[in-house]
Each structure stands twice: as structure tokens, then as C-alpha cells.
Amino acid sequence: MSYDVIVIGLGGMGSAAAYHLAARGQRVLGLEKFTPAHDKGSSHGGSRIIRQSYFEDPAYVPLLLRSYELWGKLAADSGRDVYRMTGGLFIGPPDCLTVAGSLRAAREWDLPHELLDAAEIRSRYPNFTPNSGDVALFEAKAGFARPELTVQAHLDLAQKAGVTLRFDEQVLDWSETADGVAVRTATGTFTAGQVVICPGAWAPQLLAEFGIPISVERQVLYWLDPVGGTAAFADHPIFIDENASGMQIYGFPAIDGPRGGVKVAFFRKGVPCTPETIDRTVGDHEIREMRDRVRELLPALDGPCVHSATCMYANTPDQHFVIARHPDSRHVTVACGFSGHGFKFVPVVGEILADLAISGATAHPISLFDPRRLVTTR
């Protein structure tokens, strides 16, 4: 059977693309190397921060506003708690990226926010002990998404809409044909008019011929058991904190029950790896380093580590995404290089990929994600 679109990779972006394509009447085949909502790539770990006051670049904000609309629709359509608003604190010296960048985006797009000094942070959120010169931007519309639930919700809705999903189906290669693409797996060859490639950390292998420079890093997630228990962290904002050296950490409320701990992690403190060589074992020295850093801000998080996990960031040199029809092919659309800050965009990226696969263009502002800015060899 031939399809209108084949989606390669059914993690966050691919599952959303499959759903949005099917919702528009496309005949879709989805191919995934692993099981549904797996923990081998980047779309796992129980929670991902969502926020609108975007310190990375204000240009992302229109996409975030649309993504929030689609988060609400996904929750309603699936009947699942795929996201939750908790409010968010973005803390650090006034001139650091986390604070100044968030403030810039909030002001440019007139996003509701508050600025809190250190005393106000301590008074309103007594778990936090910021430095005396620190400030925080508080965003009420920040919160977290559930990555595994999100992927599964999109997959279930896609399948309900008629998508053919094939798991444990590794793509060996793909090629263009006279009127589309042919995708070869271990079980056969499938054809379609379009292919959407969402390879995650496998981008360097699947997209090597495009010359898009993607590096992969191992990242570690930690769940720490607070001194005194998780009750004080149950009704708690997500946070990102940047210290004077520029090192960022982030964390969540206690969302996994009294024995689930509080999830925290370093942001962009990884080591190079590949999907084949990543070390899935988290060392005691890594746990000590995390505890030492986070207790500067949250002294109660000096308890034992009850769980840890690894994931992978697929990074572009400028840490912006790649989302585009391939400039040399009208049959190929790529989405990769989400650089550790992409999951909050999953619903809108699915919509964009459907636009690109069907019509070759989108009304969404995605010029920032054009791969030609990165390509050194063609």
C-alpha cells in the first residue's frame, strides 16, 4: 500500500505530526524504531517545563501561544492530563539570561508577569533561598507537560483517525522516487508522496547527507527526596535558576506522590554521546554535584536521590531548531535539533509539519529554523 505521508520517528514531534496529518484526511504511515512512548530518546522523564516568557528568543513566543491552544485541545480530545499550570519562577541576577531574556520576551509580547526581589521570593515561596541580589520573573501560565502521556495521546488519536503505526520497525534507509519517497525497513519497503523525518538523537545518522550539524549530548535527570517529605513541594512552581557563573538548573513540583521525590536537573551540562554509546548509569559523583548545586537554592532538596534517568539532547550549533521542507526536495520535511527546549512546542510543531508536508508552506513564523543557516556542505 502507498501512503500520502510516511512519518519516521514517533517521539514527541513525530507523534504530533502523524496526528495532525491524519486529522486533515491524509493516509499516514508512522514508523518507530522502539515501542510507543519509549525511554530511549528525548521524550520521556515524566515532565517537561512549558513557559511563554521565552528567554531563548522572543521570536518563539507566537509559536508558544499557539502551542498552548493546542495543549488545551489535546487534553480535551484525549481526556488525559497532558499538561498542568503551576506558575513558574525564573531566578538569578537581574542581568542573567534567565531573568533578562524572560523579561525581554514578556515585555515584547505583553505577557502577564511579575518581578520579585529576593525578599519577595522567600516570602511567597519559602522553600527558596535566593541570593540577596537575585530577582525572579514569575509567570502564572508556566507549568509542565507530561511527555509520555503526550506522545501516547497523540498516537492514540492518530490511530483513531486512521494512521497505520508500526513499532519496533527500524528504518534502514530512504530514497526519493519519481513521484515521492521509498522508505526501507527490515520488513519491507513503503512508498508515499511525502516523508516527514523526526529523528531526535538519531539525526546525525538519518540526515547526514543534508549536512545539518547536529551534536548529541547525554543529560541526567534526578529525583531527590526532600528533607521533611514532599508535602511542601506539592503546590510549587516550576523553576529555572541561573547562578553568577551562568549555570542553570531547573525543577518541578512533587508530582509523583510522596515517594516520588522532586525532579531537578542541570540545563545544558551534558557530555557528547551517540544513541549507541550513551552511558545509562548515573554515578554517585553526578548525584553529589546535583545536590550541592540545588541546595544553594532549595535547602530541603538535600535528601537522597530516589531515582535518576538519562536522556539525550540533539543540539544545533546555535541551539535553534531545524523545521523545514528540505531545500533540494519537495518530498522531504525534517524536524530535528530541538536542543533541550523543544518539547513545549510539540503540538504546534505537529501542526507545522502537517502544513509543510501537505502544501510545502506554513503560516507559522519558522524562518529562524531554516537549515540553510547551518549547512556547511551541500
Spatial separation of the C-alpha atoms in residues 116 and 89, rounded to whole Å = 9
pLDDT tens track for 39-98: 999 999 999 999 999 999 999 999 999 999 999 999 999 999 999 999 999 999 999 999
At residue 241, the pLDDT reads 98
**Mean pLDDT of all residues in 11-27:** 98
What's the pLDDT tens digit per position in 220-256? Answer: 999 999 999 999 999 999 999 999 999 999 999 999 9
Q: What mean pLDDT is predicted for residues 1-13?
A: 96
Q: pLDDT value at position 212?
A: 87
Can you give the pLDDT at residue 376?
62
Question: What is the overall mean pLDDT for the chain?
Answer: 96
Looking at residue 1, its pLDDT comes to: 76
Q: Is the pLDDT of residue 378 over 50?
A: no
The whole-number pLDDT of residue 375 equals 79
- The segment(s) of the chain belonging to CATH 3.50.50.60 are 3-44+148-211+318-374
> Residue 206 has what pLDDT?
82
- Whole-number pLDDT of residue 298: 98
- The CATH number that domain 88-140+215-315 falls under is 3.30.9.10
Q: Say if CB 204 and CB 214 are below 8 A apart.
A: yes
Q: For residue 211, what pLDDT band results from cuts at 50, 70 and 90?
A: confident
Q: Tell me the pLDDT band of 326, cut-offs 50, 70 and 90.
A: confident
Where in the chain is CATH 3.30.9.10?
Answer: 88-140+215-315
Structure confidence at residue 327 as a pLDDT band (50, 70, 90): confident
Task: Tell me the CATH number for domain 3-44+148-211+318-374.
Answer: 3.50.50.60
pLDDT of residue 168: 97
pLDDT surpasses 60 at 377: no
Residue 207: pLDDT over 90: no
Whole-number pLDDT of residue 49: 98
- pLDDT attached to residue 97: 98
Residue 344: predicted pLDDT? 98
Asked if residue 166 has pLDDT above 60, the reply is: yes
The answer to whether residues 100 and 94 touch, using CB atoms and an 8 Å cutoff, is: yes
- What pLDDT, in 10s, does the model give residues 112-144? 999 999 999 999 999 999 999 999 999 999 999
Mean per-residue pLDDT for 168-184? 94
